[in-house]
Amino acid sequence: MRTIRIPRVVHRFADVNGVRIFYREAGPKDGIPLLLLHGFPSASHQYRRLIDVVGAQYRVVAPDYPGFGHSDAPTSATQGGTFVYSFERLADVMERFCDVIGLHRFVLYAFDFGGPVGFRIASRQPQRIAGLIVQNANAYEEGLTPAARDFIALRREQPGAEEQVRSIMTLAFTREQYVGGTEEPELVPPDGWTLDQYFLDLPGRKEIQVDLAFDYHTNVQSYPKWQAWLREARPRTLIVWGANDPFFTVEGARAYLRDVPDAELHIFNTGHFALEEKLPEIAERVLAFLSRITA
Protein backbone atom coordinates (compact mmCIF):
# COMPACT_ATOMS: atom_id res chain seq x y z
CA MET A 1 0.00 0.00 0.00
CA ARG A 2 1.29 3.44 -0.91
CA THR A 3 2.13 5.70 2.04
CA ILE A 4 0.60 9.17 1.87
CA ARG A 5 2.60 11.74 3.79
CA ILE A 6 0.27 14.26 5.41
CA PRO A 7 1.79 16.51 8.05
CA ARG A 8 0.43 16.89 11.54
CA VAL A 9 -0.49 20.57 11.75
CA VAL A 10 -0.85 22.03 15.22
CA HIS A 11 -2.52 25.34 16.05
CA ARG A 12 -1.20 27.33 18.99
CA PHE A 13 -1.00 30.76 20.59
CA ALA A 14 2.22 32.42 21.73
CA ASP A 15 2.21 35.25 24.26
CA VAL A 16 4.20 38.14 22.81
CA ASN A 17 4.36 40.98 25.30
CA GLY A 18 0.77 40.38 26.36
CA VAL A 19 -0.59 39.91 22.81
CA ARG A 20 -1.67 36.40 21.89
CA ILE A 21 -0.27 35.49 18.46
CA PHE A 22 -1.93 32.58 16.72
CA TYR A 23 0.25 30.33 14.57
CA ARG A 24 0.19 27.07 12.63
CA GLU A 25 3.11 24.68 12.84
CA ALA A 26 3.93 21.45 11.06
CA GLY A 27 6.87 19.20 10.24
CA PRO A 28 9.89 17.82 12.07
CA LYS A 29 11.46 19.86 14.83
CA ASP A 30 14.99 19.49 13.51
CA GLY A 31 16.40 21.35 10.51
CA ILE A 32 16.01 24.92 9.35
CA PRO A 33 12.35 26.05 9.61
CA LEU A 34 10.35 27.94 7.01
CA LEU A 35 8.63 31.06 8.34
CA LEU A 36 5.57 31.98 6.28
CA LEU A 37 4.56 35.64 6.55
CA HIS A 38 1.14 36.42 5.10
CA GLY A 39 -0.29 39.34 3.18
CA PHE A 40 -3.30 41.66 3.19
CA PRO A 41 -6.09 41.10 3.99
CA SER A 42 -5.32 37.51 4.86
CA ALA A 43 -3.70 35.50 7.65
CA SER A 44 -1.89 32.20 8.08
CA HIS A 45 -4.82 30.29 6.56
CA GLN A 46 -3.66 31.44 3.13
CA TYR A 47 -0.79 28.93 3.47
CA ARG A 48 -2.85 25.89 4.49
CA ARG A 49 -2.35 24.02 1.21
CA LEU A 50 1.36 24.87 1.02
CA ILE A 51 1.80 23.66 4.61
CA ASP A 52 0.21 20.34 3.67
CA VAL A 53 2.86 19.90 0.97
CA VAL A 54 5.98 21.34 2.60
CA GLY A 55 5.18 20.36 6.20
CA ALA A 56 5.55 16.69 5.38
CA GLN A 57 9.32 17.21 5.06
CA TYR A 58 10.24 20.51 6.73
CA ARG A 59 9.31 22.46 9.83
CA VAL A 60 6.88 25.20 8.84
CA VAL A 61 5.60 28.05 11.02
CA ALA A 62 2.87 30.46 9.89
CA PRO A 63 1.75 33.19 12.33
CA ASP A 64 -1.07 35.74 12.15
CA TYR A 65 0.02 39.35 12.75
CA PRO A 66 -1.69 41.22 15.59
CA GLY A 67 -5.00 42.50 14.24
CA PHE A 68 -5.18 39.71 11.65
CA GLY A 69 -6.74 36.27 11.62
CA HIS A 70 -7.01 34.57 15.00
CA SER A 71 -4.41 36.71 16.76
CA ASP A 72 -5.39 39.33 19.32
CA ALA A 73 -6.40 42.69 17.90
CA PRO A 74 -5.58 45.32 20.54
CA THR A 75 -7.47 48.56 20.08
CA SER A 76 -5.62 50.90 17.74
CA ALA A 77 -4.07 54.04 19.20
CA THR A 78 -6.06 56.08 16.67
CA GLN A 79 -9.23 54.59 18.19
CA GLY A 80 -8.29 55.36 21.79
CA GLY A 81 -6.18 52.27 22.51
CA THR A 82 -2.45 51.93 23.14
CA PHE A 83 -1.34 49.69 20.27
CA VAL A 84 0.21 51.54 17.33
CA TYR A 85 -0.47 49.64 14.10
CA SER A 86 2.50 50.27 11.85
CA PHE A 87 4.73 48.00 9.81
CA GLU A 88 7.55 48.72 12.23
CA ARG A 89 5.36 47.49 15.11
CA LEU A 90 4.29 44.36 13.20
CA ALA A 91 7.96 43.57 12.59
CA ASP A 92 8.72 44.12 16.29
CA VAL A 93 6.00 41.66 17.29
CA MET A 94 7.03 39.05 14.72
CA GLU A 95 10.67 39.36 15.73
CA ARG A 96 9.74 38.79 19.34
CA PHE A 97 7.41 35.95 18.29
CA CYS A 98 10.38 34.18 16.72
CA ASP A 99 12.28 34.55 19.99
CA VAL A 100 9.37 33.19 22.03
CA ILE A 101 8.95 30.00 19.98
CA GLY A 102 12.67 29.50 19.33
CA LEU A 103 13.04 30.46 15.65
CA HIS A 104 16.60 31.73 15.74
CA ARG A 105 17.44 31.02 12.09
CA PHE A 106 14.96 30.33 9.32
CA VAL A 107 14.08 30.54 5.64
CA LEU A 108 11.81 33.54 5.18
CA TYR A 109 8.79 33.27 2.86
CA ALA A 110 7.61 36.83 2.21
CA PHE A 111 4.33 37.54 0.44
CA ASP A 112 2.76 41.03 0.12
CA PHE A 113 2.75 42.49 3.69
CA GLY A 114 5.22 39.74 4.55
CA GLY A 115 7.83 41.71 2.61
CA PRO A 116 7.71 44.89 4.75
CA VAL A 117 7.51 42.81 7.92
CA GLY A 118 10.12 40.22 6.98
CA PHE A 119 12.61 42.60 5.37
CA ARG A 120 12.62 44.74 8.50
CA ILE A 121 13.56 41.68 10.56
CA ALA A 122 16.16 40.62 7.99
CA SER A 123 17.85 44.02 7.80
CA ARG A 124 17.96 44.24 11.61
CA GLN A 125 19.18 40.69 12.18
CA PRO A 126 20.63 39.30 8.95
CA GLN A 127 22.12 36.32 10.78
CA ARG A 128 18.59 34.92 11.19
CA ILE A 129 18.00 34.50 7.46
CA ALA A 130 19.09 31.14 6.06
CA GLY A 131 17.29 31.75 2.78
CA LEU A 132 14.64 33.93 1.18
CA ILE A 133 11.52 33.08 -0.82
CA VAL A 134 9.78 36.10 -2.32
CA GLN A 135 6.26 35.85 -3.72
CA ASN A 136 4.72 39.13 -4.92
CA ALA A 137 6.42 41.07 -2.13
CA ASN A 138 7.77 44.31 -3.52
CA ALA A 139 11.01 46.09 -2.56
CA TYR A 140 11.65 48.27 -5.63
CA GLU A 141 10.15 51.48 -7.00
CA GLU A 142 9.64 49.95 -10.45
CA GLY A 143 7.61 47.19 -8.82
CA LEU A 144 4.73 49.55 -8.03
CA THR A 145 1.86 49.86 -10.49
CA PRO A 146 0.28 53.32 -11.01
CA ALA A 147 -2.68 52.20 -8.91
CA ALA A 148 -0.35 51.19 -6.08
CA ARG A 149 1.51 54.50 -6.27
CA ASP A 150 -1.72 56.48 -6.09
CA PHE A 151 -2.89 54.45 -3.11
CA ILE A 152 0.40 54.80 -1.23
CA ALA A 153 0.32 58.58 -1.78
CA LEU A 154 -2.91 58.91 0.23
CA ARG A 155 -2.65 60.64 3.59
CA ARG A 156 -5.17 60.57 6.40
CA GLU A 157 -5.67 64.35 6.39
CA GLN A 158 -6.71 64.43 2.71
CA PRO A 159 -10.47 64.75 2.11
CA GLY A 160 -11.90 61.41 1.04
CA ALA A 161 -8.65 59.49 1.66
CA GLU A 162 -10.05 57.23 4.36
CA GLU A 163 -13.06 56.42 2.21
CA GLN A 164 -10.70 55.34 -0.59
CA VAL A 165 -8.82 53.10 1.81
CA ARG A 166 -12.01 51.53 3.11
CA SER A 167 -13.14 50.82 -0.46
CA ILE A 168 -10.58 47.99 -0.70
CA MET A 169 -12.11 46.20 2.29
CA THR A 170 -15.32 45.05 0.62
CA LEU A 171 -16.13 41.44 -0.25
CA ALA A 172 -16.04 42.24 -3.96
CA PHE A 173 -12.54 43.73 -3.74
CA THR A 174 -11.27 40.93 -1.51
CA ARG A 175 -12.53 38.34 -3.98
CA GLU A 176 -10.95 40.21 -6.89
CA GLN A 177 -7.56 40.07 -5.17
CA TYR A 178 -7.82 36.28 -5.35
CA VAL A 179 -9.30 35.70 -8.81
CA GLY A 180 -8.08 38.79 -10.68
CA GLY A 181 -5.41 37.93 -13.22
CA THR A 182 -5.88 34.16 -12.98
CA GLU A 183 -5.99 31.85 -16.00
CA GLU A 184 -8.57 29.53 -14.47
CA PRO A 185 -10.50 31.29 -11.70
CA GLU A 186 -12.45 28.11 -11.05
CA LEU A 187 -9.25 26.68 -9.52
CA VAL A 188 -9.33 29.35 -6.79
CA PRO A 189 -11.45 28.18 -3.85
CA PRO A 190 -13.78 30.78 -2.33
CA ASP A 191 -12.72 29.83 1.21
CA GLY A 192 -9.78 32.25 1.23
CA TRP A 193 -11.55 35.48 0.40
CA THR A 194 -14.62 34.49 2.44
CA LEU A 195 -12.53 33.92 5.57
CA ASP A 196 -10.51 37.08 4.93
CA GLN A 197 -13.70 39.11 4.75
CA TYR A 198 -15.04 37.52 7.92
CA PHE A 199 -12.00 38.76 9.83
CA LEU A 200 -12.06 42.17 8.12
CA ASP A 201 -15.67 42.64 9.22
CA LEU A 202 -14.96 41.99 12.91
CA PRO A 203 -15.28 45.07 15.16
CA GLY A 204 -12.23 47.31 14.97
CA ARG A 205 -10.47 45.37 12.22
CA LYS A 206 -11.08 47.84 9.40
CA GLU A 207 -9.71 50.65 11.57
CA ILE A 208 -6.51 48.61 11.97
CA GLN A 209 -6.19 48.26 8.20
CA VAL A 210 -6.76 51.99 7.75
CA ASP A 211 -3.83 52.67 10.09
CA LEU A 212 -1.59 50.29 8.16
CA ALA A 213 -2.66 51.71 4.80
CA PHE A 214 -1.62 55.21 5.85
CA ASP A 215 1.68 53.80 7.13
CA TYR A 216 2.50 51.96 3.89
CA HIS A 217 4.60 54.84 2.55
CA THR A 218 7.22 54.00 5.20
CA ASN A 219 7.83 50.76 3.32
CA VAL A 220 8.70 52.60 0.12
CA GLN A 221 11.04 54.82 2.13
CA SER A 222 12.71 51.65 3.43
CA TYR A 223 13.37 50.13 0.00
CA PRO A 224 17.00 51.39 -0.16
CA LYS A 225 17.73 49.84 3.24
CA TRP A 226 16.28 46.48 2.24
CA GLN A 227 18.12 46.55 -1.07
CA ALA A 228 21.37 47.25 0.78
CA TRP A 229 20.75 44.18 2.96
CA LEU A 230 20.14 42.06 -0.15
CA ARG A 231 23.36 43.30 -1.78
CA GLU A 232 25.45 42.80 1.33
CA ALA A 233 24.00 39.53 2.61
CA ARG A 234 23.31 37.93 -0.80
CA PRO A 235 20.87 35.42 0.74
CA ARG A 236 20.07 32.34 -1.29
CA THR A 237 16.85 33.49 -2.92
CA LEU A 238 13.89 32.01 -4.78
CA ILE A 239 11.46 34.43 -6.45
CA VAL A 240 8.03 33.18 -7.56
CA TRP A 241 5.70 35.83 -8.95
CA GLY A 242 2.18 36.19 -10.31
CA ALA A 243 2.62 38.26 -13.47
CA ASN A 244 -0.87 39.78 -13.45
CA ASP A 245 -0.69 41.37 -10.01
CA PRO A 246 -2.60 44.70 -9.99
CA PHE A 247 -0.28 46.12 -7.32
CA PHE A 248 3.22 44.76 -7.94
CA THR A 249 4.76 44.47 -11.40
CA VAL A 250 6.96 41.81 -12.97
CA GLU A 251 9.64 44.51 -13.22
CA GLY A 252 9.67 44.50 -9.42
CA ALA A 253 10.35 40.76 -9.44
CA ARG A 254 13.22 41.10 -11.90
CA ALA A 255 14.69 44.02 -9.95
CA TYR A 256 15.76 41.60 -7.20
CA LEU A 257 18.33 40.21 -9.62
CA ARG A 258 20.26 43.49 -9.45
CA ASP A 259 21.04 42.91 -5.81
CA VAL A 260 20.91 39.10 -5.70
CA PRO A 261 22.09 38.09 -9.20
CA ASP A 262 22.18 34.38 -8.33
CA ALA A 263 18.51 34.36 -7.33
CA GLU A 264 16.19 31.86 -9.00
CA LEU A 265 13.25 33.60 -10.70
CA HIS A 266 9.99 32.06 -11.90
CA ILE A 267 7.12 34.09 -13.37
CA PHE A 268 3.63 32.56 -13.51
CA ASN A 269 0.61 33.64 -15.54
CA THR A 270 -1.62 34.30 -12.56
CA GLY A 271 -2.59 37.05 -10.14
CA HIS A 272 -1.58 38.43 -6.75
CA PHE A 273 -2.39 35.33 -4.67
CA ALA A 274 -0.32 33.15 -6.97
CA LEU A 275 -0.37 30.12 -4.66
CA GLU A 276 -4.13 29.82 -5.04
CA GLU A 277 -3.94 28.86 -8.72
CA LYS A 278 -0.33 27.71 -9.12
CA LEU A 279 0.27 25.73 -5.93
CA PRO A 280 1.70 22.58 -7.60
CA GLU A 281 4.18 24.55 -9.70
CA ILE A 282 5.25 26.85 -6.86
CA ALA A 283 5.37 24.12 -4.21
CA GLU A 284 7.65 22.05 -6.43
CA ARG A 285 10.13 24.92 -6.62
CA VAL A 286 9.85 25.66 -2.91
CA LEU A 287 10.65 22.04 -2.04
CA ALA A 288 13.63 21.99 -4.40
CA PHE A 289 14.91 25.27 -2.92
CA LEU A 290 14.55 24.01 0.66
CA SER A 291 16.36 20.79 -0.22
CA ARG A 292 19.34 22.85 -1.40
CA ILE A 293 19.26 25.06 1.69
CA THR A 294 19.21 22.10 4.07
CA ALA A 295 21.60 19.84 2.16
Domain assignment of residue 246, given as a range: 10-294
Q: Could you give the residue numbers annotated as active site?
A: 272
H-only helix segments in 170-204: 171-179, 191-200
Q: What is the spatial distance between Cα 242 and Cα 268, in angstroms, rounded to a whole number? A: 5
DSSP string, 208-225: HHHHHHHHTHHHHHHHHH
Q: What CATH number should be reported for the domain holding residue 76?
A: 3.40.50.1820
Please check whether residue 195 lies inside any domain of the structure.
Answer: yes
Please tell me the predicted confidence (pLDDT) of residue 30.
87
149-185 pLDDT tens trace: 999 999 999 999 999 999 999 999 999 999 999 999 9
Residue 246 gets which letter from DSSP? S
Please check whether residue 1 lies inside any domain of the structure.
Answer: no
120-133 pLDDT tens trace: 999 999 999 999 99
Please tell me the predicted confidence (pLDDT) of residue 295.
78
Please check whether residue 5 lies inside any domain of the structure.
Answer: no
Please tell me the predicted confidence (pLDDT) of residue 2.
67
Please check whether residue 208 lies inside any domain of the structure.
Answer: yes
Asked if omega into 41 is within 30° of 0 (cis), the reply is yes
Count of the separate structural domains present in the chain: 1
Strand partners, 239: 134, 265
For the chain, list residues with pLDDT below 50: none
Please check whether residue 216 lies inside any domain of the structure.
Answer: yes
Helix, strand, coil shares of the chain, percent, nearest 5, are: 50, 15, 35
